Amino acid sequence: MTDRDYVILIVDDHESTRDTLSDVVTKAGNKPVLAKNGEEAFAQLDEHDVDVVITDLRLPDTDGMDIMERVKRDMPGVPVILITAHGSEDVAVNAMKRGATDYLPKPLDLNRLRAILEGAGRLRDLYLENIGLHRELDARRALGEIVGDSPPIRAIKEQIRQVAPTNATVLIQGENGTGKELVANAVYAASDRAGKPFVKVAVAALPRDLLESELFGHEKGAFTGAHKQRKGRFELADGGTLFLDEIGAMPTETQIKLLRVLQEREFERVGGTDTIKSDMRLISATNEDLEQAMTEGRFRQDLFFRINVIHVKLPPLRERVDDIPLLVKSFVKEFPARDGSVKDVSEEALSALQRHPWPGNVRELRNVIERLCITAQGARIDESDLPANIRGATAPAPAAAAAESPAQAISLDSLAGISLDELERRAIEATLKAEGGNKTRAAKVLGIGLKTLYRKIDSYKIPT
CB 280 within 8 A of CB 238: yes
pLDDT in tens, 314-365: 999 999 999 999 999 999 988 865 555 788 899 999 999 999 999 999 999 9
pLDDT of residue 403: 40
Rounded to two decimals, the pTM is 0.66
CATH architecture of the domain 318-391 equals: Orthogonal Bundle (1.10)
Q: What is the spatial distance between Cα 323 and Cα 112, in angstroms, rounded to a whole number?
A: 61
Enumerate the CATH 1.10.8.60 domain ranges in the chain, comma separated. Answer: 318-391
Task: Name the percent of the chain lying above pLDDT 70.
Answer: 91
Kindly indicate the confidence band of residue 87, based on its pLDDT and cuts at 50, 70 and 90: low
Of the candidates 1, 4, 45, 3, which has an alpha carbon nearest to the alpha carbon of residue 24? Answer: 1
Spell out the residues 6+ positions from residue 423 whose beta carbon is closer than 8 angstroms to its own.
Answer: 410, 415
**Confidence tier at 401 by pLDDT (50, 70, 90):** very low
How far is it, in rounded angstroms, from Cα 103 to Cα 110?
A: 13
Average pLDDT over residues 365-391: 89
pLDDT tens digits, residue range 153-174?
999 999 999 999 899 999 999 9
Provide the CB-side half-sphere exposure for 259 (13 A, CA). 15
Angle at 272 (CA atoms; ends 269, 276), nearest 5 degrees: 50
268-311 tens-digit pLDDT: 999 999 999 999 999 999 999 999 999 999 999 999 999 999 99
Which helix H or strand E contains 174, and what residues bound it? none
Pure H helices in 11-85: 15-27, 38-47, 64-74
Confidence at 84, pLDDT banded by 50, 70, 90 = confident
Structural fold of domain 146-313 = Rossmann fold (3.40.50)
pLDDT for res 263: 93
pLDDT score recorded for residue 147: 94
Contact of 352 with 314, CB cutoff 8 Å: no
Cβ neighbours of residue 360 closer than 8 Å, sequence gap 6 or more = 176, 177, 367
Contact assessment for residue 420 and residue 448, using Cβ atoms and an 8 Å cutoff: no
Is 450 in a helix, a strand, or coil? helix
Alpha carbon separation from 370 to 88, 317, 342, 347 (Å, rounded)? 64, 17, 10, 18
CA proximity to 195, closest of 131, 146, 281, 283:
131
Residue range(s) occupied by CATH 3.40.50.300 in the chain? 146-313
Q: So what's the pLDDT on residue 150?
A: 93
Rg (CA), the chain: 31
For 67-81, 147-161, 277-291, 448-462, which range has the lowest pLDDT when averaged over its residues?
448-462
Position 186 confidence tier, pLDDT thresholds 50, 70, 90:
very high
Query: What residues have CB less than 8 Å from 436, skipping those under 6 apart?
Result: 321, 395, 396
Mark out the alpha helices in 75-207 (DSSP H runs): 89-97, 110-144, 151-163, 180-189
Residue 293 is inside which H or E element, if any? helix 290-295
Q: What is the DSSP string of 326-349?
A: HHHHHHHHHSHHHH----EE-HHH
Fold of the domain spanning 7-129: Rossmann fold (3.40.50)
For residue 413, the model assigns a pLDDT of 47
- 62's enclosing H/E stretch is none
pLDDT at 1: 54
Q: Where in the chain is the domain with CATH 1.10.10.60?
A: 412-460
Average pLDDT, the chain: 87
Q: How much of the chain exceeds pLDDT 90, in percent? A: 60
| pLDDT band, residue 397 (cuts 50/70/90) | very low
Q: Other CB atoms closer than 10 Å to residue 175's CB: what's the count?
A: 18
415 pLDDT tier (thresholds 50, 70, 90): very low
Give the pLDDT mean for 3-9.
84
Domain 412-460, CATH 2.40.40.20 — does that match?
no
Provide the pLDDT for residue 151: 93
Which amino acid appears at position 222 of this protein? A
Name the band, by pLDDT with cuts 50, 70 and 90, for residue 419.
low
Statement: residue 458 has pLDDT above 90 = no
